[in-house]
Structure 1
Amino acid sequence: MTYCVALRLDRGIVFASDTRTSASVDNIAVFSKMHIWERKGDRVIVLLSAGNLAMTQSVVSLLNEGVDHGGDDERPSLLTVDTMFQAARLIGETIREVRRIDREAIEQNPSLFSASFILGGQIAEDTPRLFQIYQEGNFIEATKDTPYFQIGEHKYGKPIIDRVAKPDMRMGTAAKLLLVSFDSTLRSNLSVGMPIDLLIYRKDTLQVGEQRRLEAEDPYFRMLSKAWADALRDAFSRLEEYQTEEEPSWMKPRGLTERERERMD
């Protein structure tokens, strides 16, 4: 399992993904789930992947082959499509192609094909756009009402994003938010693990901005994790306690009898 998330803002898009892949409890490896196609001054395309690693790698490999071959009118590549919508359609078609190639194996084991993607970026003068692409190849686009997408083990990191995310957030604030979301997920699910890949794309720059990998001992992430845990405990302690009904007499603390007080003296 994995966890990937991307948040579209007025200022651009922030992406984050974990790198853990588990074939079994004793077979854990690190694979990047973040794939980038960039042509400075023209486009930045970022694809996050979750699901069966063999299947997602097949999709990415076919997309890279299309880029290497230059694309054509019949089958464009991610470096020749004119819009992010066309890029989403191309990835959807590629997913269906992988399903056709492995159809016999998938029919024998339907759970074999498990793949989902988050696509985001900007092409030329088009605005930055964000899509979630399903394993059937269809997709939806982020809006101001729903500015972010998650794939993989997303349930633990969702509540904080739902409460805090706003389109007018600063990029650094959004990056902090996604990392807090990751901290909640890491604490609750062992199938998601460090390192975390983080990428910040700023609107109209048409090149990758800040991109880094946060290891388990990263000073900022450790500070953030501790500060968030402390803040949660402090906030919880400040909440008004639930008022229970009157307790039965046998549960109420009783005062000491005269004999008990004499014994204590």
Structure 2
Amino acid sequence: MTYGVGMMLDAGLVLMSDTRTNAGVDNVSVFRKMFHWSVPGDRIITVLTAGNLGTTQAVVSQIEERTKAPGERHPSILTAPTMFQVATEIGTLLRDVIAKARAGGMEGEEGEVFSASMIVAGQIAGMEPSLFRIYPEGNFIEASFDTPFFQIGETKYGRPILVRGYDRAMPFEEAVKLLLVSFDSTLAANLSVGLPFDLMVIARDGFTPLHHRRIKAGDPYFASISTGWSEALRQAFKALPAYDMAAV
């Protein structure tokens, strides 16, 4: 399992994903789950992945056209005219990879076909920034004012933080802080999510990452967020009125 979030703001897009992959408690590894492609001045496209690692790596490999020599690679998503068509192409790739796994009998221990989901975010020049959530079947939904962020993977622990704290007009710095609180809450509740975290900030009409870094274990800012959030929760809990059993 993993945790990834893509968020739309008035100022642009903010994305974060963890890097933990496990095949049992004794086989935990770190794999990148955030990928991006850009043409300065024309477009930037970022993909977050969750689910079976073999499935997601196969999709990313096809996007990058790894069968060609490095100098000949030219992903077709860099020529698609709209982000909608980018999402359509990636959705088709994901569906086809899963279908091949099913046809080859690649099933989990409980008969579940190796599955995956993705977030696709980006902007093409002359158009608005876009955010999509792609399902294993290849279909997708697009973010809107009513649904301004998407989560994939282990979503339930971090979602309440996002729902209560999100503001479309917030600056990038506040959005990053909100995501880190959401990831900290997920990290504390689920061992299948873990550091390092990959972070990307894409400014509207920027077409290259405004900010892109990996947040590793021991990062001072993340440590301060984790400690501060825990203490704030304890203080808020103590400030709530006490339950009076005698009054019931």
Q: Given the two structures, how large is their TM-score scaled by the length of structure 1?
A: 0.87
Measured after TM superposition, the shift of residue 246 of structure 1 is: 5.2
What is the distance in 2 between the residues matched to 1:3 and 1:211? 18
For the residue of structure 2 that corresponds to 1:186, the secondary structure is helix
For the residue of structure 2 that corresponds to 1:207, the secondary structure is coil
Equivalent position of 1:232 in the other structure: 233
- The number of residue pairs the alignment matches comes to 242
| Preserved contact between residue 106 and residue 113 of structure 1 (Cα < 8 Å) | no
Equivalent position of 2:41 in the other structure: 41
What is the distance in 2 between the residues matched to 1:69 and 1:216? 34
Which residue identity lines up with residue 187 of structure 1 in the other structure? A
Q: Per-residue CA shift, 1:65-111, capped at 9, x if unaligned? A: 1895546xxxxx11110111110000011112213433323476552
For the residue of structure 1 that corresponds to 2:78, the secondary structure is coil
For the residue of structure 1 that corresponds to 2:80, the secondary structure is coil
For the residue of structure 1 that corresponds to 2:201, the secondary structure is strand
Equivalent position of 1:57 in the other structure: 57
For the residue of structure 2 that corresponds to 1:78, the secondary structure is helix
For the residue of structure 1 that corresponds to 2:93, the secondary structure is helix
| Preserved contact between residue 98 and residue 115 of structure 2 (Cα < 8 Å) | no
Equivalent position of 2:135 in the other structure: 134
What is the distance in 1 between the residues matched to 2:165 and 2:43? 29
Quick check: 1:177 aligned with 2:178?
A: yes
Equivalent position of 2:92 in the other structure: 93
Q: Per-residue CA shift, 1:30-89, capped at 9, x if unaligned? A: 001001011111111000000000001111111111895546xxxxx1111011111000
What is the distance in 2 between the residues matched to 1:200 and 1:245? 53
Equivalent position of 1:210 in the other structure: 211
- Within 5 A, what are the aligned runs for 1:144-223? 144-223=145-224
Which residue identity lines up with residue 224 of structure 1 in the other structure? I
Which residue identity lines up with residue 103 of structure 1 in the other structure? R
| Preserved contact between residue 99 and residue 106 of structure 1 (Cα < 8 Å) | no
Q: Per-residue CA shift, 1:126-183, capped at 9, x if unaligned? A: 1100000000000001111110000000100000100111111111100100010000
What is the distance in 2 between the residues matched to 1:23 and 1:222? 27
Equivalent position of 2:117 in the other structure: 116
Q: 1:106 to 1:124 in 2, by over 3 A?
A: farther
| Preserved contact between residue 8 and residue 167 of structure 1 (Cα < 8 Å) | yes
| Preserved contact between residue 52 and residue 112 of structure 1 (Cα < 8 Å) | no
| Preserved contact between residue 95 and residue 135 of structure 1 (Cα < 8 Å) | yes
Q: 1:57 to 1:107 in 2, by over 3 A?
A: closer
For the residue of structure 1 that corresponds to 2:77, the secondary structure is coil
For the residue of structure 1 that corresponds to 2:126, the secondary structure is coil
Measured after TM superposition, the shift of residue 112 of structure 1 is: 3.0
Which residue identity lines up with residue 195 of structure 1 in the other structure? P
Measured after TM superposition, the shift of residue 199 of structure 1 is: 0.5
Equivalent position of 1:15 in the other structure: 15
User: Cα RMSD between the aligned structures?
Assistant: 1.7
More deviation, 98-107/135-144: 98-107
Give the 4+ runs in structure 1 shifted more than 6 A.
Answer: none
Task: Give the structure with higher Rg (CA).
Answer: 1
Measured after TM superposition, the shift of residue 206 of structure 1 is: 1.2
What is the distance in 2 between the residues matched to 1:4 and 1:108? 24
Percent of matched pairs sharing the same residue: 51
| Preserved contact between residue 133 and residue 140 of structure 1 (Cα < 8 Å) | yes
For the residue of structure 1 that corresponds to 2:179, the secondary structure is helix
Q: Per-residue CA shift, 1:188-212, capped at 9, x if unaligned? A: 0001000000000000111111000
For the residue of structure 2 that corresponds to 1:245, the secondary structure is helix
Q: 1:108 to 1:196 in 2, by over 3 A?
A: closer
Q: 1:108 to 1:223 in 2, by over 3 A?
A: closer
What is the distance in 2 between the residues matched to 1:142 and 1:170? 19
Which ranges of structure 2 fall in alignment gaps of 5 or more residues?
A: none
For the residue of structure 2 that corresponds to 1:211, the secondary structure is strand
